[in-house]
Amino acid sequence: MSGHSKWATTKHKKAALDSKRGKLFAKLIKNIEVAAKLGGADLNGNPTLFDAVQKAKKNSVPIDNINRAVKRGAGLDGGGVDYMSLIYEGYAPGGIAIMIECLTDNKNRAASEVRTALSKNNGQLADPGSVSYNFSRKGVVIVPADGIEEDAVFEAVLEAGVEQINEISGFDADDNPQQQFEIVAESNSLVSVREALQATNIDYNSADIVFYPELQVEVDETTAEKVLRVLDALEDLDDVQNVYSNMA
């Protein structure tokens, strides 16, 4: 969930379950396949694929699975993938805005499952454009804060177009709590930020183009729990790749 709400710890407590890990692997593999299809199998010439592979590795996806996904996506194994990219907008309890990114081979199934997940958890599907104005497309890089100061991160990316750096609470690949730095930049500066970190040997967990909330909304604990149920229900869907909200 972008914006990294203070409720993220609660949200991700169940992420260590085997079923959740399997779903995460499937989503990461799908990202690789689509990136390879759109930009080819060469990681050096396809930054989107590079970032998708990096994220999969950081989440312990086996390298054989990654390599097969690259070949499958690029059509090098005689097969290929055919996913549609869909974006849905919605509301969670408390008027919290939600953006839902899907990759699917069945538009009707995806739409039905998203609508059901929302309605069963006191959320609702919104008309296109009624929610998206709350978000901007941003490049976000997550850096583990272990053993590194924020000043060092800032100096590394200062010339790369960074807009802000936030210290957040997150999780490592094994779902252990981890303090992290969230580096936010314009979407077209994502590769520059990532390369600046690599040039200074600063490790990072992920580099993604996300829907970043323009303004976050504060909620109380009761409302947060209701919103998190909606987000979890959506993220459990096979066709849903990412869910973003403006909950603070």
Output the pLDDT for position 203. Answer: 94
Helices (H), 7-77: 8-11, 18-39, 47-58, 63-74
CB 230 within 8 A of CB 117: yes
In a domain, 108, yes or no: no
User: Is residue 76 in a domain?
Assistant: no
Model-wide pTM > 0.75? yes
Token digits of residue 215: 């303004």
Asked if residue 170 belongs to a domain, the reply is yes
Q: In a structure prediction context, what are the per-residue pLDDT tens digits for the chain, which is 248 residues long?
A: 455 577 654 444 444 456 678 899 999 999 999 999 999 999 999 999 999 999 999 999 999 999 999 999 999 987 777 899 999 999 999 999 999 999 999 999 999 999 999 999 999 999 999 999 999 999 999 999 998 999 999 999 999 999 999 999 887 777 778 899 999 999 999 999 999 999 999 999 999 999 999 999 999 999 999 999 999 999 999 999 999 999 98
What is the domain count for the chain? 1
What CATH number does the domain containing 188 carry?
3.30.70.980
What is the side-by-side order of every strand in the sheet holding 96-104? 124-126, 84-92, 96-104, 240-245
Domain enclosing residue 208, as ranges: 135-212
